[in-house]
Structures are given as structure tokens and as C-alpha cells.
Structure 1
Amino acid sequence: MVMSASSPQQPVTRMHYAGLDGLRALAVAGVLVYHLFPGALPGGFIGVDVFFVISGFLITSLLMREHDAHGSISLRRFWTRRARRILPALVLVVTASTTAALVVGGDVLVRIGRQVLGAATFSYNWVEIASGGSYFDALSPEMFRTLWSLAVEEQFYIVWPLLLLALLLVPSRWLRAALLVAASAGSALWMSALFTPGADATRVYYGTDTHAFGLLIGAALAVLLEGRLGAGLPRSDRRSIRIAFDVVGTVALAGVAALAVALGDGDAATYRGGLALASLLTVIAITAAIRPGSLLGSRLDAGALRWLGRRSYGVYLWHWPVFTLILAVSGSIATQAPPVSASLVAIVLTLALSELSFRCVETPVRVRGFRQCGRAMLRAFRASAPRAATATGITVAAIALVGSTGTAVAVAPQSSSVERLIAHAQKSADEREEPAESKPSPATISGSDITAVGDSVMLAAAPALEDTLPGIDIDAQVSRSMYTAPGILEDLKKRGRLRSTVVVGLGTNGPVNESTLREVVDVLGPDRHLILVNAYAPRDWIAGVNAELEAFASRHRTSVVADWRDAIEPRAGELLAGDSIHPGYEGGTVYAEAIMQSLQVLADLPPAVTEQHGYNLPLVR
């Protein structure tokens, strides 16, 4: 058993497995809907996990068939095939998109150097994790953030052939498959263990260690079918068996679709079994589809699905850069609630660019190789005038793309306009000194009895909030959700910073549930008021958040809702940043006024209620 750096053996002929093109098509369609029509398919991101399973299965089956045929695996040939498949489209997308971003300018260029580095080294996921980037952050939608999954796959392609050699020493294919299933389960359990509800999930979503279960369980299927992959799976003449496989595969595929509808990128269920379940169901669907005579496989290989599936790699690469560029041209960075017209244009451009890339770049290199394509280009310079002109044009375009990419990296800003707005608000808050004895001025409400805990919206509103409510104690940070509120409030209470009235504005970054709100009330105790600021943001959970806050406040007479949503909605286009979430100073005054109105509601509570609980309210002067 040998794994060689090179081999004189002829390469193993690639096999076409029925249904896999269709599965790729459905997977990339789910991702497109998730990204371009937010809220329409909350769990469409599981399309990436479907890709992982297919990739693990195909790569392992290719390596296994090569080993079965020649008794060895050529690393050089394997990695060359991968380079031919991956690099042409990737280089084109990165350089063309970066050049377009240089022309457009603005937020679309933010941290482009870091993104290009991650793309060039197939380490995008770890570069972003190390630098604190977030897949779920809408403040600066990085143009190449979807390359995290390509990085995970490429890291797998580098390591897996080496590990496979050791695995082949295990005598039983069942035991080999069991070991891979165990490794897959370990990765899924590691994701579950590292996930913290309410916290940013980028580490567990991006991590190769936490998100390798799909690749590994796909590999397990290929190992389990060892020796049967060359000639195909045995065909059963029993119609009942064929029907049973088709039914089970169809049910599994329906299960994946149900998860795409039910899961959300902030749900604990997603990271604690949801993605792993999607991978397992994909394995079942693949097993049913690739059987000879499978009706499911033939249906998945239907014309449109097969067309999209064969171009799914290019579609995945192109769609997000195209989308972010369209939004940038239109002056918006609100990727959470884009205009439908922008999404439709993005789809049309993505399909057109993917087709051109597939025909003119990807297929020639994959079929002929880098050397032959290079030699053909050199011959074209010495051929007829039209061919020489074409070769010259291609060469000039390539040089221009590379040069403009370098220029974009050199001039790219390191923060977006929204991030700068929040940073300015944070600096203003840090520079202010809280008065030792705060006395309210006429026609104002004192902030000396108020503690405010919030997310980036409150942080952006902080300067106006401090001017409107002098002496208020604000504790606000980016990316907080309501799940973090009990812990934050408990810490403030221990440090003596929890005043008689507490404002909580944590509805922007994820769902809210009653149990968390009850924990908040328990921390505050009977001697403090609670003001819950509702949320305004183009995100699918906001309606549910606001309904939950309203319902909770209606059941707790001394808790009220500050209606930021209704206050800002008529002037959102005027007073909010391009993400339609964060206020500037004038928008911050609207935020503060919503809180002041809630303070007045509390101040107007019947005296018996106030006296009974001993509340110390900041009264209107």
C-alpha cells in the first residue's frame, strides 16, 4: 500500500453518480435564497453542509478507486486535479470582484486585503476567526465571506489523502467507516460544546474542527461502498427494494428541505444537532440517488437541475460578491433587507458570469491543464491576427485585474462607515466624565438613577442619550443579544452600578424568550424598574422580538416598552446609517426620546403601586 508523490499509472476515470448534480443545484439554490432574499428561507445556509457531504463522498470515492486500481494514490496528480478545478474560477472571481470594488469604493472595500489573503491561502475561515471577523455581522458585509467553506474543503483536500493511507491499514471496511462516523460525531459534538446561545456563532460555524462532520460522514459512505464504486452499486431486480430506496431518499431530501425552513442562523438547535442532522439526511439521499435504476437519481439529474449543479461552484463563488457590489452601487449596505430588484439582478448576473466562467475558464483548464492552456496562449500570439488580438486582450486584462487587486488592497479602509459611527459614539462615551452629583436641568429627566445596557444600536445612540439624560450609566457593546442580559446585569449589580431604573436594549441581534426576560427581572429584584427598548432592524426575528417584549411588559405592570421601532420607522431612511439599523446623533435623540416617554409612563404609575414597591423614579422636572 503506497501513497506516492507521483505515479506513472494512468489516472482513474471520473465517474458520474446519478443525482449528485441535482443535489448540488438544490444546495446552491438554498444558499442563494438565504443570502439574497433574507427571511424567505431562514435555514438555506445548510446548502453548504450538503456540499460538504457530496465533496467528502466524491473525493474519497476517487481516492479509493485509484487505490483499488493501482495499489497507490498519487498525491501530485490528486492535488493537481484539485488545483485545476478550484483555482481558475477562484482567481477570476477574486480579482474581477476586487477590481469592481475599487471602482465602486466605500464600504465594499473594507478589509479587502485580509479577505484576499484568506482566499489566496485557503485559510479564510481561520483568518477571520483570528481577526475577530463575523459571518453574521451586517456592519461590514465582506465581499468574500462565503469563501470560508471553500477554505474548509481545501484544508480537507490537503490532509485527507494522507489520513486515508493510515485508515486503509484497518482491515475491515465496516470498521473504517465506523471510525469516520465516530470522527464526524466528534466534530458535531465539538460544535455543540463550543456554541454559546446568544453569542456570535462564527467560531463554531467557520471552524474546520467544528464543521468537518459533513465531509467526514460523506467520506464514511465512500469507504463503506469500497470495491463497489468502480462498477456502481449492485442493481436490484426487486421492484420493491428500488421503490423503498427511492422513498427513503425522497423523505431524507424532504427532511433537508424542512430543516432549511425551520432552522435559523442564531438558533441553538442549528449548532446542537441541526447541521449534523442535515448532513446525515444528505448521506441517505445520496445513497438512494446513486443506486442504478434510482428514480430519485434520474429526477435529480433533470435538465435544469443538472445544468445548475454543474455550475454550482461558480454560482456559489460569484453570487455574494455580485450582490454586495450591486448594493454598494445603489448606496446600501443593508444585506439583511435588500431591495427585491437588487436580488433579482444579482441572480441574473451571477448565472451569466458563472456560465461564462464555466465555458471559457473552468472547463478549458480542467480538461487541458495549466500547461497546455499556457502553450495554447503562446501559440495564439503567433497565429492569425484575430487570435493574436484575442490573446493580447486576455493578457492585458489579466495584468490589469492583478494590478488593480493590489491597488485595492493598498487603499482599502479597515472599518466601515457604520463601524466608524459606532467607534465615534464609543469614543464620545469614553471621553465624558459622569458628574459626581448630577442635577437635572429644567425640562429634562435626570439620568443619575438610570442604568442602560444595550447593543450596538444603543452604543451608536449613546452621545445623544447622555445629552438627553445627563448622568445616565451606559454599558453597550457590539453584537450583544438578550441572552447575555442576565449575566451583564448580575455583574453590574455586584459592582454597585445597577441603579433604580434599568433600560435594556438588546433585541437587535437575535430572538428573545420569556425565560430570559424573567431572569432579567430576577436579577433586578423588586426595587427596580425595567424599560425594554424594542427593536428596529431589517431582520426576520425583529417582529417576534417586539411581540415578546410587549407581551412580557403587559404581564409585569412596572415594566414598560420604549417604542424605538415606531419612533424611528417614519424617518429611518433619513436618520439611520446605510444598514438601516444604527442611528447617528439625530437618530440617537429619537432613541432617547422613546426612553423618556417610557420613564414618564413609569412616573405616572398609581401612587399605591409606587409606594408599595418603594421605587425611586427619575421624575420629570
Structure 2
Amino acid sequence: MTMRQAAKQQTRRDIQGLRAIAVALVVVYHLNPATLPGGYVGVDMFFVISGFLITGQLVREAETSGRIDLPRFWARRAKRLLPAALLVLLVTVLAVWTIAPLGLRPAFLTQVAASAGYAQNWVLAAQSVDYSAAETWASPVQHFWSLSVEEQFYIVWPLIAVVALVLLRRSRRSDNGTGDRFPRFLQNLTMLVALVTIASFITSVVLTTVDPQAAYFVTPTRAWEFAIGGLIACALPTSRVMTRLERWLTPSARSAMAWLGLIGIGASVVTFSDATPFPGWIALLPVISTALIIVAAEPETRWSPQPLLARPTMQWLGDISYGAYLWHFPLIVLLPFAFGGSLGVLGTLTVITATLVLAHLSKIAVEDPFRTGFSKAWSNKRTLAVTAVGVAAMLAVPIVSLGSVDRQIVTERDRVASIVANPTECLGATSLNSDSGCDPAPLQLPIPEPALADQAPERCLSDLEGAQVRKCTYGAEPGTAIRTIALVGDSHAEQWLTPLKRIAEQNNWRLIVMAKASCPFTSAERDFVSFGEPKRAELRQDCLDWNAEVLEELEQEPQVDAVVTSAKAANKVVSNSASKWQEAAAEGYERRWNELPETVGTVVAIEDTPELQEDLMRCVTEEGETAATSCAEPAKDALGDDPLSDAAASSERAELISMNDYLVVDDDCPPVIGGVLVYRDSHHLNWAYTEMLTEPLADALEEVLPEHSETVA
């Protein structure tokens, strides 16, 4: 095929082959990232292909009619994309209700609604800086983020072509007749697309440095990838460019380009990983590699990769690639719940088979009929109206369902709270009593279910961003309390809210809670190493300001005679010596405690709790009854150096207590003890288990706190 033929041809075998490669990379990556650590670049390949094809359609329409019919364009896109997508979302909602754990349903249904509205990428970008969402489960529709980016592209991109036509009509140099005006239209369009490419690429590089988590999902960091495909589509139809390209790029040169492109994609797949800052400038490798194959345009030489890309299997997979992308991720996320464990080899084969079968069936039964069958005679207005109704219905179904799910969660949470408040002899922490004769790791499913572990009855935690102090009070009123204590610190301090609240209620104490996500109570400068500048500096300042406000709040609470605090031991602080940040952290704690009002007689530091494997909740869910042993972590690995404990040991004002005897069993840290789930993620304790530590925590406090006066504070 010559490059002139490629410029006019709407269906190309090499592009179908590229689609097949792209979807295969994504599916394998999602099934097992270790196999193809950079397999996510398949999404970038799709973006370049879409930019090329859609821009090509707009260019051909402008060439033949001299205008861009926006309603027609959007109606065609709606017919092509929405029916299959809405079907997958509907089936996913039904599956979520049927097999997903109760605790995961609110998040899953919310993301289905976001996907139906094609805003999933912005939801994920927002969650990427949400401290509480750091270890959340992947939703079965999380992959819709890329489809959301594409849909936003389809809405905006034809408007750029319209602007190019408007500029043409306003140009004094434009001639009469479409044939003379078309090259000028292409010049205008090329200029606009080039501006988008430059602006988006700069945004991508900067935001990937500043906020890499959000940069991965947002549309401005990805628009340049579509635009690269668009620039190719703008260049190929112009006779001047085409003549030069065909003179320079002989079939042999184009074959070399195509192979170079495939090698570049392969290099991306094997050298990139989740740790690679992406997209940023490094995304140039898969993007330019894909562009090289498109520009090569099916070169006809003996050693061309065209026979590989044109194989019937590749063409078939490319033809169903959209459906395969839609179906594979809900199967990967939801089937383990149906199997009652991890996918394994059989589950992986089931996912691959089901993905291909469902993609093929949805292609012939849904995609094709809507695109070229019964709806062919529909007007643009009718098509857009029907698809709008479908989207609205798919938005309404999960949103309406959320109320029912929330009520079920409250009921289950109350049931668990009742059980742990009045435990049987061998339940949870009671099984650790030396004379109980209980097995701390019984073969039974834990309570609450892992997906409900984060649904505490009471929370009081300020967000990661911002410096405003959220102040919560529990227990006795100020005029009747016989003691007032303050719980202050990060989320590792706040995890003790449940038992401290109960202690306060039992002893006529007043409890004040002021906690902030990932921000310990210290004068040292917390260092948010996982963020780029300036977000990193912003979060550091937020934490410093929050600390200052907490000190002011305590100054205004002279009744507070004790401060209870804890902090995640692994969270670094700014230090002159990177190897001695723990010393700086310990000094920061001690300095902060010395700044407390004189009315605070004692600082009680609770030693930090163990940190287990990152995917702990998934392990517990998949391992089920054997999770207590199979998901356990050796105590020597789970318990690291704790600067807070070091500070308490050297401070005259502080007392150190530890609850880790209730978290370590036979030198291991099990995630389930006595049938009760100990953690809510890899390093935070579950509220149900801490509820059962009320009595031992009260005993520990009694040993270190001075006797309080019986007079009202």
C-alpha cells in the first residue's frame, strides 16, 4: 500500500493489528503486571490511533463538503461506543449486587455512575491525592478512565476542526472553491493541533513531576497523544508533504520504520513499570513508536512486519478490541469474589476466554447492529436522544442503589459492634489470654468482612490537604468531666478513637480528638516524599500550620491534663541527613511535647503498630479461612524503628505504652485474631479489633496517668 492510499483508506490492516497488540498488552498487564510491567502503554497506543482516525475522518469531511457536521459526528461516535459500554456497565451493576462484598458496593456503584458520565478519569485523579483512598480496591470499571478521556476527546476535537474552518472563512487570502481552500484548512488545522500538542505535552511533563498520581488520569496530560495521531492525519493528505514523504520513505525505509516502532513498543513494555513517572516525557517512546507504524502505512517488502499485523487472528482481535477492553477488567475484579479466592491459572484462563467470547458476542449483537443495522436510518437528533436516555438511566441505577447499600452497611456495622462489645470467650483479643485455651487463628471467616474494615462507627480525621483543625469531643460534658484527655496526631493516633471513646464514656472523662491524615503531632517538618514539588511543599506547610493550630486549641483547653498521641513510624521528616531522619523525628516529637501548656501533666505515647503487606485486605479476602496464617507477617519485619518511642524514652514529660502484645502471636503479626479482622489496610487497625482492646488500653493508661481529682474539671 502506498502512503497516498493509506491517507484515503479508513480501514487499515496494520492499525487493526496495532489494536490487537494494544488490547493484549493491557489485558496481560491487568492480569499479571509482573509479566508485562509496562503493558499499560497499550492505552497510549489506542490514544494515538484514535487521534489519527478521528482527525482523518474530519479532514475527509472538510475536503468533500467544506464543513464539519457536529451532530452527525457525535451521533456516529455515540452509536459506535455507547451501546456496548452501557451494556458492560449494566452487567457490572448486577454482578456487584450479586457477588461483590457489601463494603465495596458503595465505591463500585459510585464509579459505575462516574463511568456512565465519562468522568471516571477525574474521579480517579481526585482519589489519587485522597489519603483514605491510598489502598482502596480497584473498582471493576476503573479502566473506564481511558474511555472517559477518549469521550472527552471526541467532544472537543471536532470543535478544533470547526475553528480551523472559521479561520479559513475569515481569512482575506482564502479563494473561492473548496478545492483551493482545502490546503489552507489543513494548514489552519495543523497549526491548531500543533498548539494542542505542545501545550498538552508541557502540561504532561510538569504535572507528572508535580503530581504524578493525578497526572496519569487527567485529560490535559493525555491530549498530546491524540494530537500526535492528528498531526499525522493532517500531514498525509497534502500533496506537498505526501510527495516528499514518498520520495524519502521508500518501501524499505517504511519497513524499517514499522519494525523500529514495534521495537519501541516492546522496549516500553519490558522497561517501564508502575514506578515509572508516567505519562510525562517518557511516554514519547510508545507514542512515537505507534506513530512510526502508522506513518509506515503497510509497506510491501519481504521483511515488512505487515504479514504479522495482517494475520487473521490479529485482525479478529483488533476488530473486537473495544469489547475486549470493556469486558476484561470487570471479570478480573469480580471473578475472585465468585471463586472465593485469587484467580490462579484456571481463573486467568477463564478471564481470557470470557473476555474474548463476550467481546465477540457484543460486537455482533450490540456494536454492529447499533452502528450499521437497525439504527442506520435514525436521524442524528434521534440517535443523540436515545443515547442520552441510556446514559441517564445508567447514571440513575447506581445512584439510586446507594441508599439501600448504605442502610445495609449500617445494619451490618451495628451487628459487628454488638458482637465485639460483648465477645465470647475465644473471640478476637480474648483468645490471647494465656489461660483461655483458645486458638487465636481459628478456621473461620473474619468479622467484619475486609471490605467493611474501614467503616468505623466514628471517625475524626482532617484531610491530607489543608490546615483546618477538625475538633471532635466525646464522653462527659466540660462541666461534669472528672478528667479531660486529648488524642492528637496522625491517622495512627486516630485509630485509637474507638476504645478511647469507650473509656471516656465508662469513666466520666471528656475526650478531645484532633487528628490529621499523615501529619504527626511534631515540630519536625513532615516530608511527603511520594509527591512532587510544589505539592510536596504545600503538604509540608499544611502539616506545620495544623500543628500550630492544635497547640493553640490546647492552650484554650486548660482542662486537658493528658495528651495521647501516636504516629506512623515509617513517615519521614525533613532532615539535614537523609540517613538520620529518625533522630530528627524523635527530636521533633520531644520539642513539640515541651511546647504543650503546663496544664498538660502527661504525654502518653502509644508505640506504633505493625505494618503488613500492602495488599493485605486482598490477601485476607482471597485466602478466606486460612488468612490468619497465610497472610501473616513476621513480627521482626512488621515492627520497625519507632522515633516516637525513642522520644518518649528520653522525655521527662512522656510515658510510653504499647498494645503490640495484642497484635503479635508467636512472633508473627496475623491479620485475623480469634476470628476478628485486626487491620483495615496494611498499617491501620480495624475499629472492631481496637474496640476489643478497650480494657487493656484502659489498664495501660491507668498505670501511666497520675490519679485525677474527683472534683469537676
When normalised by structure 1's length, the TM-score is 0.67
Q: What is residue 505 of structure 1 aligned with on the other side? A: 568
Distance 1:487 1:275 in 2: 32
Q: What is residue 575 of structure 1 aligned with on the other side? A: 677
SS at match of 1:262: coil
The CA deviation string for residues 346-372 of structure 1, in whole angstroms up to 9 with x for no partner, is: 333222211111122212333335146
The 1:127–1:533 alpha-carbon spacing in structure 2 relative to 1, beyond 3 Å, is closer
Whether 1:254 and 2:266 are equivalent positions in the alignment is: yes
SS at match of 1:424: coil
SS at match of 1:287: helix
Query: What is the one-letter code of the residue matched to 1:494?
Result: A
The 1:237–1:52 alpha-carbon spacing in structure 2 relative to 1, beyond 3 Å, is closer
Query: What is the one-letter code of the residue matched to 1:305?
Result: M
Q: What is residue 386 of structure 2 aligned with on the other side? A: none
Match of 1:317 among 316, 326, 332: 326
Bigger mean CA deviation after superposition, 567-576 or 219-228: 567-576
Query: What is the one-letter code of the residue matched to 1:201?
Result: Q
Q: What is residue 371 of structure 2 aligned with on the other side? A: 366
Q: What is residue 535 of structure 1 aligned with on the other side? A: 611
Q: Cα distance, 1:89 vs. partner?
A: 0.9
Q: What is residue 237 of structure 2 aligned with on the other side? A: 226
The 1:407–1:16 alpha-carbon spacing in structure 2 relative to 1, beyond 3 Å, is closer
Percent sequence identity is 26
The 1:526–1:67 alpha-carbon spacing in structure 2 relative to 1, beyond 3 Å, is closer
Bigger mean CA deviation after superposition, 67-76 or 149-158: 67-76
Distance 2:114 2:320 in 1: 23
Distance 1:514 1:270 in 2: 30
Q: Is the 8 A contact 2:84 2:323 kept in 1?
A: yes
Distance 1:274 1:592 in 2: 52
Structure 2 gap segments, 5+ residues each: 1-6, 169-182, 380-388, 410-448, 462-470, 479-484, 521-527, 531-535, 555-561, 592-604, 620-630, 650-657, 706-713
SS at match of 2:219: coil
Match of 1:206 among 194, 203, 217: 217
Q: Cα distance, 1:50 vs. partner?
A: 1.9
Q: Is the 8 A contact 1:18 1:298 kept in 2?
A: no
Q: What is residue 463 of structure 1 aligned with on the other side? A: 498
Bigger mean CA deviation after superposition, 359-368 or 494-503: 494-503
Q: What is residue 453 of structure 1 aligned with on the other side? A: 490
Match of 1:584 among 680, 686, 697: 686
Whether 1:81 and 2:81 are equivalent positions in the alignment is: no
Distance 2:581 2:491 in 1: 16
Distance 2:229 2:274 in 1: 22
Distance 2:452 2:644 in 1: 36
Superposition pairs of residues 233-312 of structure 1, within 5 angstroms: 234=246, 241-259=253-271, 261-264=272-275, 269-275=277-283, 277-288=285-296, 290-293=298-301, 295-312=304-321
The 1:403–1:278 alpha-carbon spacing in structure 2 relative to 1, beyond 3 Å, is closer
Distance 2:343 2:498 in 1: 29
Query: What is the one-letter code of the residue matched to 2:202?
Result: L
SS at match of 2:222: coil
Superposition pairs of residues 25-424 of structure 1, within 5 angstroms: 25-38=20-33, 40-104=35-99, 106-107=102-103, 109-110=105-106, 114-126=110-122, 138-139=135-136, 141-167=138-164, 169=168, 171=184, 176-177=189-190, 179-194=192-207, 201-202=213-214, 204-227=215-238, 234=246, 241-259=253-271, 261-264=272-275, 269-275=277-283, 277-288=285-296, 290-293=298-301, 295-330=304-339, 342-371=347-376, 409-413=399-403, 418=451, 421-424=454-457
Distance 1:96 1:153 in 2: 22
SS at match of 1:101: helix
Q: What is residue 525 of structure 1 aligned with on the other side? A: 587
Distance 1:586 1:196 in 2: 40
Distance 1:537 1:220 in 2: 46
The 1:292–1:467 alpha-carbon spacing in structure 2 relative to 1, beyond 3 Å, is farther
Distance 2:148 2:243 in 1: 32
Distance 2:85 2:155 in 1: 17
Distance 2:14 2:243 in 1: 17
The 1:479–1:468 alpha-carbon spacing in structure 2 relative to 1, beyond 3 Å, is same
The 1:122–1:527 alpha-carbon spacing in structure 2 relative to 1, beyond 3 Å, is closer
Q: What is residue 603 of structure 1 aligned with on the other side? A: none
Q: What is residue 16 of structure 1 aligned with on the other side? A: 11
SS at match of 2:305: helix
Q: Is the 8 A contact 1:98 1:404 kept in 2?
A: no
Q: Cα distance, 1:317 vs. partner?
A: 1.1
Q: Is the 8 A contact 1:98 1:405 kept in 2?
A: no
Q: Is the 8 A contact 2:569 2:644 kept in 1?
A: no
Distance 1:232 1:16 in 2: 24
The 1:578–1:151 alpha-carbon spacing in structure 2 relative to 1, beyond 3 Å, is same
Q: Cα distance, 1:255 vs. partner?
A: 3.3
The 1:366–1:18 alpha-carbon spacing in structure 2 relative to 1, beyond 3 Å, is same
SS at match of 1:72: coil
The CA deviation string for residues 182-208 of structure 1, in whole angstroms up to 9 with x for no partner, is: 4223223324444576x7834x33332
Larger Rg: 2
Distance 1:231 1:92 in 2: 46
Structure 1 gap segments, 5+ residues each: 1-11, 375-398, 437-446, 600-617
Q: Cα distance, 1:219 vs. partner?
A: 1.0
Q: Is the 8 A contact 1:57 1:219 kept in 2?
A: yes
Distance 1:59 1:140 in 2: 34
Q: Is the 8 A contact 1:28 1:316 kept in 2?
A: yes
Bigger mean CA deviation after superposition, 492-501 or 339-348: 492-501
Q: Cα distance, 1:81 vs. partner?
A: 2.5
The 1:487–1:571 alpha-carbon spacing in structure 2 relative to 1, beyond 3 Å, is farther
Distance 2:569 2:256 in 1: 49
SS at match of 2:490: strand
Distance 1:576 1:271 in 2: 37
Q: Cα distance, 1:57 vs. partner?
A: 0.9
Count of aligned residue pairs for this structure pair: 545
Distance 1:48 1:434 in 2: 56
Q: What is residue 548 of structure 2 aligned with on the other side? A: 494
The 1:329–1:297 alpha-carbon spacing in structure 2 relative to 1, beyond 3 Å, is same
Superposition pairs of residues 580-619 of structure 1, within 5 angstroms: 583-585=685-687, 587-588=689-690
The 1:452–1:516 alpha-carbon spacing in structure 2 relative to 1, beyond 3 Å, is farther
The CA deviation string for residues 164-197 of structure 1, in whole angstroms up to 9 with x for no partner, is: 1333648495785465244223223324444576
Q: Is the 8 A contact 1:502 1:528 kept in 2?
A: no
When normalised by structure 2's length, the TM-score is 0.59
The CA deviation string for residues 522-553 of structure 1, in whole angstroms up to 9 with x for no partner, is: 4653774997766324449x99xx99x99995
Distance 1:279 1:356 in 2: 31
